[in-house]
Amino acid sequence: MAQDDFDLFVIGGGSGGVRAGRIAANHGARVGVAEEYRFGGTCVIRGCVPKKLLVYASRFAAEFADAAGFGWRMGKPTFDWRALVAAKDREIARLEGIYAANLEKANAAIFPERATLLGPNQVRLHSGRTLTAGRILIATGGRPTMPHELPGIEHAITSNEAFDLETLPSSIAIVGGGYIALEFAGIFAGLGARVTLVHRGANLLRGFDGDLSRRVLEAYRARGIRVELEATLLKLDRAGAGAPIVATLNSGNAVEVEQVMFAIGRMPNVEGLGLEQAGIRTDRNGAIIVDELSRTSVPSIYAIGDVTNRLNLTPVAIREGHAFADTVFGDRPWQADYENVPTAVFSTPEIGTVGLSEEAAVSRHGIVDIYRADFRTLKATLSGSDERMLMKLVVDGSSDRVLGAHLIGPDAGELIQVIATLLRTGVTKRDFDQTMPLHPSSAEELMTLRTRSARRIQHHDPQLGLMP
Ligand SMILES: Cc1cc2nc3c(=O)[nH]c(=O)nc-3n(C[C@H](O)[C@H](O)[C@H](O)COP(=O)(O)OP(=O)(O)OC[C@H]3O[C@@H](n4cnc5c(N)ncnc54)[C@H](O)[C@@H]3O)c2cc1C
């Protein structure tokens, strides 16, 4: 029998695909990786990395204002959007080069073109070439969802385009209430745009702890961001190129803006991939169904990352890719652990969260204790800003184990990374109490949460389980 062209062919050169390809090649597999757009994928090219760079840019305006309280005197700062976009582009081009180079260094063959499935061991490249592989890994990620039926939707953009706008819009309506919508609302507001956030739900950040979603809403409104809750868009009208977009809401009100951006969710990138021909099962959202070892319904085909819609974060895609490569090519089976995954929302104020929200903890545990600190930061005492920090621990009242930690305020993302390790090791509230605080810091407040803010008790019904 003729040998396959590759032991592994990876479709998608993003976070997960590149890690899987590189590790499999290091284990001695003959690897090919196809990428239809740019190596690095969503995170590097139009996700986490450029997003965080824009977040940094957006926070300087408040920093300049804060500096005055510390004695600094300066002229009126001005901002150059094009300079920022160009600097951001240089950095992502550098990272893109590193991603491709790392694959090549590991002796993987790279194909800068689209690939689709022809069968359990066969792919077709856009150039027309057909290749065979012992195993195929689908790591095609996701893309923004757009309501294509909305009249005037052609006037709207997604996060993909927001990174590369020719000019900074003076006003923008952002549709959505998830982390991407909030981050971009914060970015554009910080850079001086008039921002309207339109969200169909009653609360921002569905699934997050209620204190975080309430606080970010208050903070955004205090920053002058107009937040329309339980609101949807009925249509978008534009009189002509260059004219403002008129966004009509279900309330009958209309907002006139220069840009409209949709951030209402993302969907798996499976269109035209040939899943049906190969016999791969998907769920009702189009996500590829996999088992804990990332195996699809076809034994030779695996899938990782956002295309499987498990936990759509870069480090998760990377772990899944690494676990796949070690398991299949390194004779070292392991799987990604989805417990206590820390998450940040780079809104301003920033959010860091890990573990169970108060609401989730109450539905799963009999007695839940809540400890909260809500304070003005030390820096704000001189800057005169209204910057605050809210910190919250959700504790199992029976075992004293910390079930969740939720922070909103400066550096919340940095802090939560370390707290996630503590939660993995089963940290108790008593451990926090016994740790010497570091003074003066915001983090020390976590060690001095002496007084319980609330105790939530559920009564157990033998038939119905826990009752609120
Ligand atoms: C605006 C934004 C901000 C984000 N911020 C964060 C954050 O702060 N932290 C975080 O952890 N996550 C963040 N994410 C999510 C993160 O980007 C994804 O979870 C991560 O990129 C998923 O990696 P992946 O390998 O599954 O897919 P991707 O990185 O999307 O890579 C998939 C690749 O496959 C390619 N491809 C698709 N189809 C084909 C085909 N048929 N042939 C060849 N190539 C193909 C695509 O071009 C893409 O490069 C953000 C996402 C967005 C959109």
pLDDT tens profile 253-306: 999 999 999 999 999 999 999 999 899 999 999 999 999 999 999 999 999 999
Nearest CA to ligand 1 atom 8: 48
- Which pair of structure tokens corresponds to residue 354? 């890990």
Which atom of ligand 1 lies at the shortest distance from residue 321's CA? 25
- Proportion of the chain above pLDDT 70, given as a percent: 98
Going by alpha carbons, the residue nearest to atom 48 of ligand 1 is 41
- The pLDDT of residue 26 is above 50: yes
Residue nearest atom 35 in ligand 1 by C-alpha distance: 12
Long-range contacts formed by 234-239: CB under 8 A, 24+ apart = 234/150, 234/151, 235/150, 235/151, 235/152, 236/150, 236/151, 236/152, 236/153, 236/155, 236/156, 236/260, 237/152, 238/152, 238/155
Backbone angles phi, psi at 158, to 5 degrees: -120, -175
Q: Which residue's CA is the nearest one to ligand 1's atom 9? A: 48
- DSSP letter (8 states) at residue 437: P
d(CA 231, CA 198): 6
- Tell me: pLDDT of 430 over 90: yes
Whether pLDDT at 37 is above 90: yes
pLDDT of 101 > 60? The answer is yes
Q: Which residue among 131, 146, 314, 414 is best mutated to probe the pocket of ligand 1, counting the most ligand atoms within 8 A of its Cβ?
A: 314
pLDDT at 467: 44
pLDDT for 241 equals: 86
pLDDT of residue 242: 85
- Closest protein CA for atom 15 of ligand 1: 313
Average pLDDT on 93-120 reads 97
The tokens of 349 are what? 């104020």
Q: How many A from CA of 198 to the centre of ligand 1?
A: 25
Q: So what's the pLDDT on residue 460?
A: 56
Q: How far apart are CA 358 and CA 360, in angstroms?
A: 6
Ligand 1 site-directed mutation target among 10, 23, 42, most atoms within 8 Å of CB: 42
CA distance 185 to 347: 8
Mean pLDDT along residues 298-321: 98
Residue with CA at minimum distance from ligand 1 atom 2: 47
Percentage of the chain beyond pLDDT 90 is: 95
CA 117 – CA 119 distance, rounded (Å): 6
Tens of pLDDT, residue by residue over 441-464, are 999 999 999 999 999 998 655 555
CA of 126, closest atom in ligand 1 = 42
Residue 45 alpha carbon to ligand 1 centre in Å:
9
Residues lining ligand 1, Cβ inside 6 A: 11-17, 34-37, 41-43, 47-48, 51, 114-116, 139-141, 159, 180, 269, 273, 305-307, 312-315, 317
452: helix, strand or coil: coil
Residue from 281, 275, 185, 170 nearest 224 by CA:
185
* Rounded mean pLDDT, 215-236: 97
Q: Ligand 1 centre and the CA of 97: distance in Å?
A: 17
Considering Cα of 95, then 98, then 102, then 104, what sign does the dihedral take? positive
What is the CA(366)–ligand 1 centre distance, in A? 39
Ligand 1 site-directed mutation target among 9, 36, 43, 309, most atoms within 8 Å of CB: 43
pTM of the model: 0.96
In which band, very low, low, confident or very high, does the pLDDT at 412 lie, cut at 50, 70 and 90? Answer: very high
Q: Which atom of ligand 1 is nearest to the CA of 52?
A: 8
Give one DSSP letter per residue of 291-308, joined into a string.
-TT-B-SSTTEEE-GGGG
Distance CA 362, CA 386 (A): 32
Query: pLDDT tens digits, residue range 192-218?
Result: 999 999 999 999 999 999 999 999 999
Marked catalytic residue, from 148, 439, 459, 460: 439
Q: Residue 468: which pLDDT band, with cuts at 50, 70 and 90?
A: very low
Measure 306 CA to ligand 1 centroid, in angstroms: 7
Bond into 244 cis (ω within 30): no
Residue 115 has pLDDT above 70, yes or no: yes
- Separation of CA 440 and ligand 1 centre (Å): 39
Query: From atom 37 of ligand 1, which residue's Cα is the shortest distance away?
Result: 140
Predicted pLDDT of residue 461: 53
- pLDDT band for 440, please (50, 70, 90 cuts): very high
CA-116 nearest atom, ligand 1: 41
Q: Is 402 helix (H, G, I), strand (E, B) or coil?
A: strand
Q: What is the pLDDT of residue 459?
A: 67
Distance of CA 437 from the midpoint of ligand 1 (Å): 39
- Mean local confidence (pLDDT), 31-59: 98
Ligand 1 centroid – CA 246 distance (Å): 31
Both tokens of 218, joined, read 């208050």
Task: Provide the pLDDT for residue 458.
Answer: 80
Q: What is the mean pLDDT of residues 114-128?
A: 97
Question: Taking a C-beta distance cutoff of 8 angstroms, is the pair 372, 211 a contact?
Answer: yes
Q: Which of 427, 384, 375, 433 is nearest to 405 (CA)?
A: 427
Calpha distance 137→301 (Å, rounded): 6
Q: Whose CA is nearest to atom 1 of ligand 1?
A: 47
- Output the pLDDT for position 1: 58
315 CA closest ligand 1 atom index? 11
Task: Beginning with the edge strand found earlier in the chain, give each strand of the sheet holding 259-262 in spatial order.
Answer: 226-228, 194-198, 171-175, 259-262
Indicate if 126 belongs to the active site: no
Q: What pLDDT does residue 466 have?
A: 47
Give the mean model confidence (pLDDT) for residues 317-334.
98
